[in-house]
Structure 1
Amino acid sequence: MITNSFCNLPSLQTVDFSYNNLTGNLQEFEHKSVLRSLSLSNNHLQGSLPNFSGFSFLEELYLNDNKFSGSVPDFDGCLALEYLDLSGNQLTSWETQSIEQLTNLVELDLSRNSINNTINEHHLSKLYSLHRINASFNSLTFNISSEWLPPFNLAQLSLASCKLGPKFPIWIRNQSKIRTLDFSNTQISDTIPMWFWDNFTQMKTLDLSSNKISGTLPTIQSQTIEINLSYNNFEGPLPLISPKCSEINLSHNKFSGKLVLSTTEHMRLRFLDLSHNLLIGELPDSWKYFKHLLFLNLGNNYFWGRIPLSIGSLHSLNKLILRNNRLDGELPESLRNCTDLGFVDFGLNGLSGTLPAWIGKDLPQLYALVLKSNKFYGSLPDDLCHLSHLHFLDLSMNRLSGYVPPCFSSLIAMINSGNKASESRGSPSQAFLYPKRHICYSKCVVAFNRAKYSYVDDALAGWKGKEREYRGNFAYLKMIDLSSNKFTGEFPTGIARLLDLKGLNLSRNQFYGKVPVQIGRLFELEVLDLSSNKFSGDIPRSMTGLTFLAYLDLSSNNFSARIPLGGQLQAFNSSMYEGNPGLCGLPLTKRCPGDKTSVEIPPPSNGIEVEEDEIVYRRWLYISAALGFSTSFWGICVTLLVNRRWRHAYFLFLTNLKDQLYVFVAVRIARLKVRLQG
């Protein structure tokens, strides 16, 4: 609990209780003081904020990252206030009139609240000293005339997720000192005026992502270090990249033409995302100039040809995505030099050849390998099992054959149930984080707006019967997909030891033999697809213990005998068991030998199959109800016949009840007649 007792200290000028575990409400201040700085940030304080009017000496007020709710309080009389930080709370409204009097305000941070107000030029017209504004992630609407010229010259203007559009805000045209500008997700559906690129020559960070901005781009200004224009409608050729740029995200636009890279020796680029555009041609072979690159995503374009050898010069590269292009040829051996690679996605291309052994030997940090839908052939190298951090493997839809190595049990990241992926050195949660779909940058570089933004691993996975893109929860997605190949042999016993596995897809191969009982130890399993193989024998009864199972497909095999009762196995549609002539029992309509009745229970109207256990339960429920009623009825009747005192008391109770009911009805009727006559 925070009290206002410190206000009784007449000479106290600074109070800093930040980064503690303070709880409770902030009481109203009864006494004024010469307090100049008050910081209660990063605690657990809640409730409404008190009135700060009268703190005429207060210069700094930091109440950020608590749980304060209600309105932004009145600051009437706080004429000396220069720094006001209310970010990271649950505030819902703003008394905008009071802010007009803060003529000495230098920095204002209201970000990460739920403030729902409309701001116009009159609210800001007297803030002559304002240097930084951060109102991001609120519901503020800025209704400012395009003719208005602000009296301040900002260094930072961050209004992410506020409403500025549909027109581009012209009123910022005289803000020549801006170094950080964030208009992401602000409902702008306009073109960028030409003066924009000429006026903001000192800008270091620019974020206009998640709008509907159209038009072409000029050369990126040499001073701009971080630029994010993703999720817009920009078109035309790519702008030239300045050697000073460190982070560029132009993904999800309509850029076209070839990719031309600079050949300057001192490129500082660490993050480059050009995915989901219309780029064509061969990949450039000048990657040796980008030695600082950590993240490269060129996926979902129309690049063709071979992966250039110079890609192996990216020794610091952590994530490489070339997904969904038209690339061909073998994997370049120079990739073995990228020993920091953690995520590799070459899926949906035309790559071919055998899987090289150096993937397991020379890429020890690899935690995700996606080679889906290519033309790889041959057997899996045993060295693949050396990838102890690997928790996502997708080799589906290739031409791979032979036996799956038994050493799969060495994939430590999938073995220890309950361990988080972040505990491994090469895990995605350590290398990349993601706070929503917003700004996508690597954790190790300077981030936007003094906040840590980073890129999450995303992958298209055959998960729960559908192909979906997974972001944010990728570390949770521990999966092996070997489907649609030519693998043979018995069920890979090594996989049955991966206790933390959540998805396993071995469908459309040539596996045979029995499914081992040990599969029941994979308690975390949510997806299991063994369809279109040659598995035979009983379905292991241990599978009834897979209580998290949300998708199961055992169709088109040679399974036989009764489907085990219990767990999730009767919850799936019968089509997931079809194509196994020897199978019987629910949810199939085929009865097993020795069943007592051959009467088939029709499915309920909602289309859900009735479980055998449910039928037995209902039968005993009705029997128990009938027995209970009979026992109670005859028990009362026999007692009344045998016990004379109970019988007389019972009939006396009925007589009194009848008399009381008669009197109640007679009185009611009499009152009703009086009302009608009156």
Structure 2
Amino acid sequence: MSTNDHRLVRCNEKDEETLLIFKKGINDSYGQLTTWSTEKDCCAWEGVHCDNITGRVTELDLRNHGLTGEINLSILQLEFLSYLDLSQNWFDVISIPATQHNITHPSNLIYLDLSTDSIYASPLKPFLHMNNLDWLSPLSSLKYLNLSGIDLHKETNWLQAVNTLPSLLELRLWGCNLNNFIINPSIQYSNLSSLITLDLAVNNITSQLPNLFFNLTKDLTYLFIYHNNIHGEIPSSLLNLQNLRYLDLYSNQLQGSLPDGISQLPNIQHLDLYGNMLSGSNIPSTLENLSSLNYLSIGGNNFSGEISENTFSKLSNLDYLDLTSSNFVFQFDLDWVPPFQLHELYLGNTNQGPNFPSWIYTQKSLQYLDLSSSGISLVDKNKFSSLIERIPYLYLSNNFMTGDISNLTLKGYNLNLSNNSFTGGLPNISPNALAVVFSYNSFSGSIPHSWKNSKDLDFINLWNNKLSGKVLEHVSDWTQLRFLNLGENEFSGTIPIKMSQNLHVLILRANQFEGPIPTQLFNQSFLFHLDLAHNKLSGSMPECIYNLTQMVIFHGEGTIVASIELFTKGQEYYMEYADSIRKTIDLSANNLSGEVPSELFHLVQVQTLNLSHNNLIGKIPKTIGGMKNLESLDLSNNKLSGEIPQSMALLTFLEVLNLSCNNFHGKIPIGTQLQSFNASSYIGNPDLCGAPLNNCTTKEENPKTATTSPENEDDDSIRESLYLGMGVGFAAGFWGICGSLFLIRKWRHACFRFVDGVGDKLYVTLMVKLNSFRRKVKVS
């Protein structure tokens, strides 16, 4: 609300009219602008500020008000407006009135922010678009301009447009889909000489950094051009920026070496060159004199050479160091004590081992430590224990560390000790812990009782250890949990009825869990990955409405949770990021019985469904044809019966199908893909026929058999068996298979699978002959 509610001077009528015109285009679904009424003085409206003497509107601040609809830039016609902030809303369009280019009164606008958070843009909620920036030219007093997140890809002369603003000090065009850094040599860019901050990050700039530009901007202090596609070398003119404090060129395609002169930038505090293609072995000497440096990130390049304590001897202000994925040779004296105290240190994917770097033990202020994949196997037990107990964000995965840390209490929020060789019991964790990743170790025993107090846990991964006990007693206390992976252990007990309603991923695979599957588990609206395979679960599957919303409704954007061990399409995959776009249900290798509930086949977004190796009975519902996203379906080794529904022919994305070892009968439906699988997908169903199995019997193919007596049917059966073993089998086989290969394209494709599945074909033939023999014996 305005602070001018009690002033004596009323709001100017012309200003009020302009504000109401602006409001007409706005959708205020959250009721933020309820005070914008003619019944109230406009200086008391939400976000409006007026001059106490004149009553003229001087400021309009509506940032982060949940507004949608139209930004009508007629608002810029407020004659005394000096501050306009409409950022962090969800406007759909920007309207630029023709009169904007013909403003006669001098502009008083100093601050203009129309930015939006473009990382949340999607096809359903696209960027704001703006075709040109010509409307800026009358705003001669503007010092701060932020258009971040607005699509400006059609504005090819953006640099010339902002050059019309002689007072501009700060320009932010983050995420504007700009294409190039084009400078017209015929234009004088003197108006940019006072620019202090320039943010062009997260665009699509594919050009080189122009030498000419850095000769024009003498006062530039903050330069952000990260996450583009800028190529070429770092221009030498960059070294003319003697006031430069922040230089962020992270994630581009810069090549060549780092200019030696960068060590002569006296004020540089923040240097980020991570994720380029820079090379050279002179980096250490280049950095030695940057005594003001507090942030250094040069990993992810092709730098080489030796780094020792001499490199950092003058960097007493260093607070952040990132050398991740670098090829430096680290040569530090064992007794070296750095002149700095780091808050963040990232040395992942570097060659540090086999000894844990002793100088890190001296860093008492560390909040983030990443030493993952750094070849470490040996630690000083006492110093190491003291260090890892106090660091909030600790990443030590993919090393060779050993030892028993069960007596420690790790106070961190995010803890990743995965892929090591730690033994003994699990350590205690802080009540404030958020994420715990201890997978691929040799931890044993049960989960400590202290974990019960960590009520904010969001992520737990204990995959592939030697843990046991009835751990799931704790689950009901972890109400914020989104990811729970306890697979490949020896846990026992039943699955609790009460679990976090925020679960996205639940993996209990390969343990000793028993009892029924709780009905409540199928009411998890966020769940998209459910793996209960290889346990001792029993009873029938719950007959209820399956409210697994993520598996029913398509969401355009997936929710990324974290890494996951995914079993699908007959094999194991490791996914670095679990994405809700891939939806899985795996209940295989248990003792489940009864019929498969039809509600399961209403989960139309599921891509992997595995119910194999159980004792399930009944038929496949026709509604399976609606699961058109299925890529892998395994119902093998059950007691399912009936015909394969014709609707399965509608499943056009199937890559893996296994219906073997059941009691299906009748003819395999002819469809786009069902005949493309080899016989192993159907074997073990004695009364099932049709390609890719043997042809169906004459009884099924010849309508005359419908009128024969039971006695004649038996005689016919004997004759069919005899003929099948002789010339009819040869003729049917030749024309049914070889002829089809010439005439039907999809069968020609299946020929290649035939070559790979010769063993399966032989097995099928043997089964057919054996069944024929059994029928003859039965008749006789």
Q: TM-score range by the shorter chain?
A: 0.7 to 0.9
Q: Which residue of 1 aligns with 2:436?
A: 272
Q: Which residue of 2 aligns with 1:220?
A: 386
Q: Which residue of 1 aligns with 2:209?
A: 49
Q: By how many angstroms is 1:223 displaced?
A: 6.0
Work out whether 1:336 is the aligned partner of 2:481: no
Q: Which residue of 1 aligns with 2:241?
A: 78
Work out whether 1:528 is the aligned partner of 2:633: yes
Q: Which residue of 2 aligns with 1:419?
A: 555
| Amino acid in the other structure paired with 1:335 | V
Q: Which residue of 1 aligns with 2:529?
A: 392
Three-state SS of the structure 2 residue aligned to 1:499 is coil
Three-state SS of the structure 1 residue aligned to 2:394 is strand
TM-score (norm: length of structure 2): 0.64
Equivalent-residue separation in structure 2 for 1:617 and 1:10 (angstroms): 70
1:127 and 1:249, CA in 2 relative to 1: closer, same or farther beyond 3 A?
same
| Amino acid in the other structure paired with 1:45 | I
Check conservation: 2:334, 2:359, Cα contact below 8 A: no
Check conservation: 1:83, 1:108, Cα contact below 8 A: yes
Q: By how many angstroms is 1:50 displaced?
A: 0.4
Q: Which residue of 1 aligns with 2:564?
A: 458
TM-score (norm: length of structure 1): 0.72
Equivalent-residue separation in structure 1 for 2:607 and 2:694 (angstroms): 30
Q: Which residue of 2 aligns with 1:64?
A: 226
Work out whether 1:616 is the aligned partner of 2:743: yes
Q: By how many angstroms is 1:212 displaced?
A: 0.7
1:206 and 1:348, CA in 2 relative to 1: closer, same or farther beyond 3 A?
closer
What whole-Å deviation, never above 9, does each CA across 1:40-81 have from its counterpart, x for those lacking one? Answer: 233333311101553443322222233322222222432332
Check conservation: 1:2, 1:25, Cα contact below 8 A: no
1:171 and 1:145, CA in 2 relative to 1: closer, same or farther beyond 3 A?
farther
Match of 1:509 among 606, 614, 617: 614
| Amino acid in the other structure paired with 2:172 | F
Work out whether 1:498 is the aligned partner of 2:603: yes
1:34 and 1:142, CA in 2 relative to 1: closer, same or farther beyond 3 A?
farther
Equivalent-residue separation in structure 2 for 1:614 and 1:336 (angstroms): 58
1:223 and 1:509, CA in 2 relative to 1: closer, same or farther beyond 3 A?
closer
Q: By how many angstroms is 1:172 displaced?
A: 8.2
Q: Which residue of 2 aligns with 1:540?
A: 645
Q: By how many angstroms is 1:156 displaced?
A: 1.0
Work out whether 1:472 is the aligned partner of 2:472: no
Q: Which residue of 2 aligns with 1:123?
A: 286
Check conservation: 2:345, 2:369, Cα contact below 8 A: yes
Equivalent-residue separation in structure 1 for 2:321 and 2:180 (angstroms): 31
Check conservation: 2:314, 2:339, Cα contact below 8 A: no
Equivalent-residue separation in structure 1 for 2:328 and 2:677 (angstroms): 49
Work out whether 1:23 is the aligned partner of 2:181: no
| Amino acid in the other structure paired with 2:731 | V
What whole-Å deviation, never above 9, does each CA across 1:101-124 have from its counterpart, x for those lacking one? Answer: 323321111123343444432322
Check conservation: 1:530, 1:554, Cα contact below 8 A: yes
Work out whether 1:183 is the aligned partner of 2:342: no
| Amino acid in the other structure paired with 1:562 | K
Alignment of 1:477-488 (within 5 A): 477-488=582-593
Q: Which residue of 1 aligns with 2:594?
A: 489
Equivalent-residue separation in structure 1 for 2:555 and 2:312 (angstroms): 56
Q: Which residue of 2 aligns with 1:365?
A: 502
Equivalent-residue separation in structure 1 for 2:514 and 2:393 (angstroms): 42
Equivalent-residue separation in structure 2 for 1:172 and 1:113 (angstroms): 30
Work out whether 1:555 is the aligned partner of 2:654: no
Equivalent-residue separation in structure 2 for 1:157 and 1:586 (angstroms): 63
Check conservation: 2:392, 2:412, Cα contact below 8 A: yes
Q: By how many angstroms is 1:552 displaced?
A: 0.4
| Amino acid in the other structure paired with 2:555 | N
Check conservation: 1:15, 1:38, Cα contact below 8 A: yes
Q: Which residue of 1 aligns with 2:714?
A: none
What whole-Å deviation, never above 9, does each CA across 1:200-246 have from its counterpart, x for those lacking one? Answer: 22222211112111212423347633221111112223287567533
What whole-Å deviation, never above 9, does each CA across 1:362-414 have from its counterpart, x for those lacking one? Answer: 53333333333344444444344333333332333333334323325333321
Check conservation: 2:455, 2:477, Cα contact below 8 A: no
Q: By how many angstroms is 1:458 displaced?
A: 1.8
1:171 and 1:598, CA in 2 relative to 1: closer, same or farther beyond 3 A?
farther
Equivalent-residue separation in structure 2 for 1:242 and 1:203 (angstroms): 17
Check conservation: 2:285, 2:311, Cα contact below 8 A: no
Three-state SS of the structure 2 residue aligned to 1:410 is coil
| Amino acid in the other structure paired with 2:203 | N
Three-state SS of the structure 1 residue aligned to 2:637 is coil
Three-state SS of the structure 2 residue aligned to 1:181 is strand
Equivalent-residue separation in structure 1 for 2:470 and 2:744 (angstroms): 63
| Amino acid in the other structure paired with 1:536 | S
**What RMSD over aligned residues (CA atoms) do the two structures have, in Å?**
3.6
Equivalent-residue separation in structure 1 for 2:630 and 2:504 (angstroms): 19
Equivalent-residue separation in structure 2 for 1:610 and 1:78 (angstroms): 77
Match of 2:369 among 197, 202, 206: 206
Three-state SS of the structure 2 residue aligned to 1:286 is helix
Check conservation: 1:147, 1:170, Cα contact below 8 A: no
Match of 2:265 among 102, 114, 117: 102
Report which structure shows greater RCO (CA 8 Å, sep ≥6): 1
Q: By how many angstroms is 1:352 displaced?
A: 4.4
Q: Which residue of 1 aligns with 2:360?
A: 196
Three-state SS of the structure 1 residue aligned to 2:522 is helix
| Amino acid in the other structure paired with 1:616 | L
1:17 and 1:379, CA in 2 relative to 1: closer, same or farther beyond 3 A?
closer
Moved more, 129-138 or 243-252: 243-252
Q: By how many angstroms is 1:502 displaced?
A: 1.0
Q: By how many angstroms is 1:618 displaced?
A: 7.1
Check conservation: 1:407, 1:494, Cα contact below 8 A: yes
Three-state SS of the structure 1 residue aligned to 2:550 is helix
| Identity value in percent | 33
Check conservation: 2:233, 2:255, Cα contact below 8 A: yes
Three-state SS of the structure 1 residue aligned to 2:484 is strand
Check conservation: 1:367, 1:391, Cα contact below 8 A: yes
Check conservation: 1:271, 1:296, Cα contact below 8 A: yes
Three-state SS of the structure 1 residue aligned to 2:353 is coil
Work out whether 1:245 is the aligned partner of 2:412: yes
Check conservation: 2:409, 2:428, Cα contact below 8 A: no
Check conservation: 2:295, 2:319, Cα contact below 8 A: yes
Check conservation: 1:570, 1:587, Cα contact below 8 A: yes
Moved more, 237-246 or 109-118: 237-246
Moved more, 514-523 or 47-56: 47-56
Q: By how many angstroms is 1:270 displaced?
A: 3.1
Check conservation: 1:270, 1:295, Cα contact below 8 A: yes
Check conservation: 2:208, 2:232, Cα contact below 8 A: yes
Alignment of 1:155-166 (within 5 A): 155-165=319-329
Alignment of 1:592-603 (within 5 A): 593=698, 594=701, 598-599=730-731
| Amino acid in the other structure paired with 1:205 | Y
1:602 and 1:87, CA in 2 relative to 1: closer, same or farther beyond 3 A?
farther
Check conservation: 2:659, 2:682, Cα contact below 8 A: yes
Runs (5+) with no aligned partner, structure 1:
308-330, 423-427, 433-455, 604-608, 622-678
Check conservation: 2:539, 2:594, Cα contact below 8 A: yes
Q: By how many angstroms is 1:529 displaced?
A: 0.8
Q: Which residue of 2 aligns with 1:91?
A: 254
Check conservation: 1:34, 1:57, Cα contact below 8 A: yes
Check conservation: 2:377, 2:401, Cα contact below 8 A: yes
Q: Which residue of 2 aligns with 1:287?
A: 451
Q: By how many angstroms is 1:260 displaced?
A: 4.5
1:503 and 1:242, CA in 2 relative to 1: closer, same or farther beyond 3 A?
closer
